[in-house]
Amino acid sequence: MTAGTTVTPDITSWPPLDEEKRAQGQRLLDWAAVGEGPRLCLVRGAGGSGKSALLAWLLAGTVGRPGVTVHATVPSEGLTTESFAWELGRQLGYGPLSPDRLLDQVAADERPLLLLVPDLHRAGAGPADLPSAEPETLVAELLEPLLALPHLRAAVEVGTSGLLAAHGGAEVVDLGEGGGDGDGDGTGQSSSVSSVSSASSASSVSSVSYVDLVAAVPRTADGRPDWSQAPAPVLRRILDAALRTDDQGAAVRGLLADPGFLVHGSATALTATLADERIPVPGRLREVWRRAAPELTAYHTDSAERAALLHAAAVATDPGLAEYLRPLAGRHWWSTVWGRPDLSVSALASVPGVEGRLLAAERTGRLGTYDVGSGGSLGAVSGVSGASLGAVSGVSGASLDTSPGVSDPSRASGLSDGAAASFGHPAVVRPRSLAARDVRSALLLDGSDALLPLVTEDDPTTAFALERIAEHHGSAALAGEESLVTALGGGGIRSPYAIVGDRGGTVHVWSLGEYQDVPRSCQVHEQPVTAATCVDTADGLTLTFTAGADGSVRLWETSAEPMPVPVQQRRYRTTALAAADTPAGPVLAVAWSDGELHLWHVFSGRVRVLPWLRGCDALALTPDGLLVIADPGGLSAVRLRLDVLWEQ
């Protein structure tokens, strides 16, 4: 049940609650469940009154039973507008978004949303003279605009502050003065170093000096701070304490120059501090951190994963920092091998029969080959020149690249110029997906949904085979809209295939190694196919993986019927698929529109989520576990440790 319903769950079905909190608990539960009346509930009270515990109680009661649905819970201590937006976007399923994009996404979300916001009165981070250090900034820039949306409701912990008090007609749950036991609203003081490792209150730790906090950090054998062993309160607070130190910024600069602190220190505090352009930083740290910050601030990120994320952002940007981080990143189950921020790639494919070769289409249309191990260019595909792949000869009055050696894709359509024009063949080809036959020939799916062959004129046999595939689907699309090609993928290192998906949900498997007059076809999806790939296994199976517009990913072994249920179903769009037969068995990589990247061990069904820096536009996976990722930041390669990949 969400907003809009009028049935109140019985408080006795919720976890036990202290008798003195029972009335406030019932009031909070009534507000959350009814879904009418005030859309804001302020949870007030002094330190130790149990405000956070009451919100936790409400959330715990929603688990595993029908009733109130809480869509996101964002503890706000130390968060700025930006880091709050990232976390809320993650929890709502959009991925980390900027505040403006988050507001647009929530406004377009059709769900009635219920949010819990603990510790709003402790929000803010960074230099004290900047607005980002004050919780009022988060309220003005994000919470007030969110609360202006009619389908969003929020229960917000505000302590004894006046935050959101001007929001008219709010429900108020007041827990009073409390026990003064360190709930963190400014009560209680502690100056002893021993309190650093045991204090639960923000105020008790913030009262400790930078010198005392540093003294609480264990040392390595050579006397350096061992941040991996530092108490959690120290890691959360030491950068704030350094900002308050009157030493001309020496303490802050020392922390920012220490890779160990970058890996273990508070990601939200670092994000806010590095946003201040007045603070000098070593190398290109500010740029590196900016790239990684949306993922670094995720609560699930451990130190090894943080090292891998920072290293990924530093590769090809700050080589010095990348080298410092490489040993720790290399111990994680994934680490970046190389990066090419200069390449904006829309489509990728491993080249069958050629070890370590990658075929990539840049967004301009230029098609080139690259070394998988280093990312180095091996040259443009023969016959392709200029800034684009070319224009289509004989179709709509356009012409393909006139350099010799490129077959005319218009021959594949089997259409007159007029029919081809109405069918939507492009004047300039910019591939959005590829199926490679070899290093010189491939099928291309253009952004206009035209399926086109790329072959050299000195290989008429291949030209005939690929043009037959394009002709088959072009003619089918003219006969019925459900046959319009919507997805293309490749695969098969030993025997190359093209996997074609259409608007009607049918998947067509073509061999690129030998001529076929018709494909092997099967209705796999009920919705249009949005992505496709395949893998041929060592025991002779041909496994196709396809994604549908309904968020389903399905498996079809081509000698049998498709699996009756999806291998995965999510409410997000699949943006890319890639598969390979590895020493650990077949592996499928799935990229989603919410930014998640899933790695599936096909035969066991085990899955691991790789927290990449940005949403993925295209993927390629090699049999030895090198995952190549195309995203808005360029082209990168990640080494997967297949021996430990699915260990939890």
Could you write out the three-class secondary structure of 83-104? HHHHHHHHHHCCCCCCHHHHHH
The whole-number pLDDT of residue 400 equals 33
Nearest to 641 by CA among 304, 263, 351: 304
Residue among 77, 71, 76 nearest 89 (CA): 71
Characterize 312-337 residue by residue with b for buried, 16 or more Cβ atoms within 10 angstroms of its Cβ, and e for exposed.
bbbbbbbeebbebbbebbbebbbbbb
Quick one: pLDDT band at residue 11, thresholds 50, 70, 90? confident
Query: What pLDDT is stored for residue 9 in this prediction?
Result: 72
Is the pLDDT reported for residue 106 higher than 90?
A: yes
Tell me which DSSP letter residue 225 carries.
B
Check residue 311 and give left, alpha or beta (phi > 0: left; psi -120 to 50: alpha).
alpha
Question: Which helix (H) or strand (E) segment is 530 a member of?
Answer: strand 529-536
What is the structure's pLDDT at 427?
A: 56
Angle of the 285-296 helix axis to the 267-274 helix axis, nearest 10: 140
Domains of the chain: 11-174 (3.40.50.300), 201-332 (no CATH), 339-640 (2.130.10.10)
Render 457-473 in DSSP notation, one character per residue. TT-HHHHHHHHHHHHHH
Contact predicate 311/301, CB 8 Å: no
Q: What is the pLDDT of residues 208-266, one digit of tens each?
A: 899 999 999 999 999 999 999 999 999 999 999 999 999 999 999 999 999 999 999 99
Tell me: the pLDDT tens digits for 318-340? Answer: 999 999 999 999 999 999 999 99
pLDDT value, residue 396: 27
The residue assigned the tokens 């025991």 is: 539
First-last CA distance in the chain: 33
What is the model's pLDDT at position 36?
77
- Taking the model in full, what pTM does it have? 0.84
Q: Are 360 and 344 in contact (CB under 8 A)?
A: no
Instruction: Quickly state the pLDDT bin for 63 (edges 50, 70, 90).
Output: confident
Average pLDDT, integer, range 413-440: 61
In percent, the amount of the chain with pLDDT more than 70 equals 86
Number of neighbours of residue 132 by Cβ within 10 angstroms: 23
- What is the pLDDT at residue 513? 86
CA 76, CA 83: separation in Å to the nearest integer?
9
Instruction: Give the residue with greater pLDDT, 608 vs 398.
Output: 608
Residues present in the chain in total: 648
Q: What is the pLDDT of residues 536-552, one digit of tens each?
A: 988 888 999 999 999 99
Q: For the ranges 340-349, 393-402, 508-517, which has the lowest average pLDDT?
A: 393-402
Q: Which of these, 255, 231, 227, 235, lies nearest to 243 by C-alpha position?
A: 255
pLDDT at 451: 93
pLDDT of residue 404: 34
For the ranges 30-39, 102-111, 187-196, 610-619, the lowest mean pLDDT is seen at 187-196
pLDDT band for 71, please (50, 70, 90 cuts).
very high
In this structure, the strands spanning 40-44 and 171-174 are parallel
Does pLDDT of 648 surpass 70? Answer: no
Statement: residue 187 has pLDDT above 70? no
Interatomic CA distance for residues 469 and 516, integer angstroms: 8
pLDDT of residue 3: 43
More confident site: 187 or 21? 21
Q: Is the pLDDT of residue 387 over 60?
A: no
Task: Choose among 376, 400, 398, 377: nearest CA to 388.
Answer: 400
CA distance 11 to 353: 65
Distances (CA, A) of 9 to 2, 37, 404: 12, 17, 74
DSSP 419-464: HHHHHT--SS--EEEEEESSSS-EEEEETTS-EEEE--TT-HHHHH
> With contact defined as beta carbons under 8 Å apart, do 302 and 281 qualify?
no
522: left (phi over 0), alpha (psi -120 to 50) or beta: beta
pLDDT at 314 over 60: yes
